[in-house]
Amino acid sequence: MNNITVDFSQSLGKIKPMHSVNNGPAYKFTQDQRVTNMPAYKAAGIPYARTHDASFFAVYGGPHTVDVHMIFPDFSKDPEDPASYDFTLTDEYMKVIGLAGTKVFYRLGSRIEHEIKKYGTLPPADFHKWAVICEHIIRHMNEGWADGHNFGIEYWEIWNEPDLNWDSPDPVMKKCWGGSKEQFFEMYDIAAKHLKKCFPNLKIGGPAVCYPITDWTREFLGYVSEHSSPLDFFSWHLYSQTPDFVISIEKQVRELLNEFGFEKSESILNECNYVKDWNGDDWEYTLKSEKGIKGAAFTAAVMEASQSAPLDNLMYYDARPCAMNGLFSTDLVTKVLKGYYPFYMFNKLYELGTQVKSETDDEYHVFACAAKGNGKYAVMITHFNNDDSAPETEVKLTLHNIGINAPCRISYYLLDDNHDCKLVREEKICSSEAVSYLGMPLFSTYLVTFESAE
């Protein structure tokens, strides 16, 4: 028996955006061959979409989208001249994300390059000029420059995973940054200072490190601290087999930021998913898991646990139609997969707005998060165990101070192998206290809602 206790009278602060993603919906404004997941994407209430790796996907605009070296394809050109830029397909992609009601989290730099020849991941020939190019991309998106827009994009991230294989002697293995770490530190400092001077009200940060707890990261934080480089947010990545490991790293990252004087910098985990290993049979197992109920349960558990951890934003990788997308079918994006429903379910908590106290006596396998707002209440509960043979567990859910005038309707929505966030049970109570017993199969998630039955 696992015990979860919720006290709706104890408010803990805002529900944070723990259901953000990388990339937006698949949608084209032209009618030809339009197959879209826009309605489902919008219904999930996804708060932020990071634009990294968007240029892999043709419907977003393909290689002409988002990446700095594609928007400004000839580095010899004048960055003050609007004719030097190609904004067309990126503009459309920004509009698509906005159409879903989602905010853009813009990654400046390049997609990862697995190919044997590198293009956008090589160090810019002139770091100051690169910073000016980024400035004009922001002015186009937010200030109308060069027949631009007023999208109001707040977060601007400098680069992606510059620490990935940074010391490899094989340049092919340097998939995200082709230079030295010292070169990257210098470029970040130049770009961040320039952009923050131009846009003091925007959030400038990065660098989306692949490995957050390493000497590379410590050296980076030491460098930006010593040089007073802007770091409004520190972004980092983590792929794991267990939610509790993710939470442990979230705590270590916060401690690391505080150690270097970045107490006010946001900690943003902006690539996260279930991964057993990146090679061989374990990689095949990983991809199958991500698109199934195990990946869904991992995502739900990380969302729930991260709400109470020192993390400011959590982003799933990836909502782009690809092998690691557990939300939508890759071949037919109109079909939602099991991994879609944790986003839809957590959004119900996000809409309520205020987290309330919830406790579980098994922080490794049973996860919970609870919220209230507008006279309504909800609890989200997940059973995850990395052991695929783990048995069903029973959960005793004890509820205190349900602030709804009697009678109160309690509704139970279940996500498991056989249910897609379906209503499976309903009851009425006439008390502010209640106890429920839930049989929870492995990898199942419940959304329990409370509202007036009158």
Kindly report, residue by residue over 164-189, the tens digit of the pLDDT. 999 999 999 999 999 999 999 999 99
Check: CB of residue 363 under 8 Å from CB of residue 21: no
d(CA 195, CA 373): 38
User: Which pLDDT belongs to residue 406?
Assistant: 78
**CA angle (274 as vertex; 251, 367 as ends), nearest 5:** 60
User: Which pLDDT belongs to residue 155?
Assistant: 99
Distance between terminal CA atoms of the chain? 34
**Length of the chain as a residue count:** 454
Q: What are the helix (H) ranges across 308-441?
A: 341-352
Q: Which residues of the chain have pLDDT under 50?
A: none
User: Which pLDDT belongs to residue 210?
Assistant: 97
Burial of 134 (0-12, 13-18, 19+ CB in 10 A): buried
Report which of 413, 297, 438, 281 is spatially closest to residue 348, judged by C-alpha positions: 413
Question: Looking at residue 150, what DSSP letter applies?
Answer: -
- Return the bridge partners of 356, or none: 11, 370
- Return the bridge partners of 371, or none: 355, 378
Check: CB of residue 221 under 8 Å from CB of residue 233: no
User: Which pLDDT belongs to residue 1?
Assistant: 84
SS3 382: strand
DSSP assignment of 8-66, as one string? Answer: EEEEEEEPP---EEES-----SS-TT----HHHHHHTT--EEE-TTGGG-GGGTGGGSS
Rg (alpha carbons) of the chain, rounded to whole number:
23
User: Which pLDDT belongs to residue 454?
Assistant: 79
Confirm whether pTM is higher than 0.95.
yes
User: Which pLDDT belongs to residue 29?
Assistant: 87
d(CA 349, CA 25): 22
User: Which pLDDT belongs to residue 105?
Assistant: 99
Give 314-332 as a 3 state SS string: EEECCCCCCCCCCCECCCC
- Return the bridge partners of 107, or none: 157
